[in-house]
Amino acid sequence: MPFTIATWNINSVRLRMPIVERLLKEHAPDVLCLQETKVPDELFPEKAFRKAGYEHILFHGQKGYHGVATVARRPIELVEKRRFCEIDDSRHLSVRVQAGGGSVLLHNFYVPAGGDEPDPEINRKFRHKLDFVHEMNGVPASQDDASILVGDLNIAPQEHDVWSHKQLLNVVSHTPVETEGFEAMRRAGGWVDLMRLNVPAEQKLYTWWSYRAKDWEASDRGRRLDHVWSSANLVPRFKGYEILKAARGWEKPSDHVPVIARFDLE
């Protein structure tokens, strides 16, 4: 029995509860990490998760914006709700979960989108995004602990993580200052990009398709904004993953789709 972790930017957990239930029923991940829950903690739909068999629920939410939650079928222990850039946004939650006879430290992140203008001098949201990613250098993969980091990191680091590298070089999410800072942070932290581990660099990978396309599937102008990383010591346990592209076509979809990673940890 593999240990499975799903990550999904849900763009309002309350509005999306029907398709969250569908994911849990059809794929039954052991742990689900949600981003953009857009709900204060006191209004989090705990009952629906319990009813679906996910009785272990931790959240870091706020009213209207951002918000992350980690729910599980097995016990999870709160480690930290970290504050970044000295701003009280709800963008991080780490938990410890028992798996494979040991424990895994699991980070759930929602990195700032960064606004439209890719110039930190005139766009403070872009400045914030760069600063946030830089501050993630303070969240390294532990050398002697099994660590996993998932979430909507809002950056598509490689050429084939976007539908057109050339056309997106000046578009927030794929600018060189973002992708270089992102990859430097990932490597410095000792994190392995599991979604690219066994996939050729020239193969397109997307987890997000804009709401603004007339036909998201036909135009297929996607980006890989959602990520699954682990510490090097977990790589031998990594058994593959799935991008649930079909979820983009579900009723009232999120613009992101779930990614489910499997580990041989039982």
Give residues in contact with DNA (CB under 7 A).
Answer: 11-12, 14-15, 38-40, 63-65, 112-115, 125, 154, 211-212, 252
How many residues in total does the chain contain? Answer: 266
Q: Give the nearest distance from C-beta 154 to DNA in angstroms.
A: 6
Smallest Cα–Cα separation from 72: which of 28, 105, 41, 103? 28
- Identity of the residue, 30 or 152, whose beta carbon is nearer to DNA in the bound complex: 152
Radius of gyration of the chain (CA): 17
- Identity of the residue, 29 or 112, whose beta carbon is nearer to DNA in the bound complex: 112
- Identity of the residue, 143 or 167, whose beta carbon is nearer to DNA in the bound complex: 167
Alpha-carbon dihedral of residues 212, 216, 218, 222, nearest 10 degrees?
100
Q: Write the CB contacts of 161 (distance below 8 Å, at least 6 apart in sequence).
A: 174, 204, 205, 206, 223, 224
Q: Give the nearest distance from C-beta 58 to DNA in angstroms.
A: 20
- Identity of the residue, 14 or 81, whose beta carbon is nearer to DNA in the bound complex: 14
Q: Give the nearest distance from C-beta 105 to DNA in angstroms.
A: 26
- 179 touches 227 (CB < 8 A): no
- Identity of the residue, 105 or 224, whose beta carbon is nearer to DNA in the bound complex: 224
- Identity of the residue, 240 or 249, whose beta carbon is nearer to DNA in the bound complex: 249
Q: Give the nearest distance from C-beta 229 to DNA in angstroms.
A: 20
Q: Give the nearest distance from C-beta 5 to DNA in angstroms.
A: 22
What distance in Å separates the CA atoms of residue 244 and residue 252, rounded to the nearest whole number? 15
Q: Give the nearest distance from C-beta 35 to DNA in angstroms.
A: 10
Looking at the chain, list the stretches that DSSP marks H as alpha helix, in order from N- to C-terminal side.
17-27, 46-51, 124-135, 165-168, 176-188, 194-197, 216-219
- 157 touches 227 (CB < 8 A): no
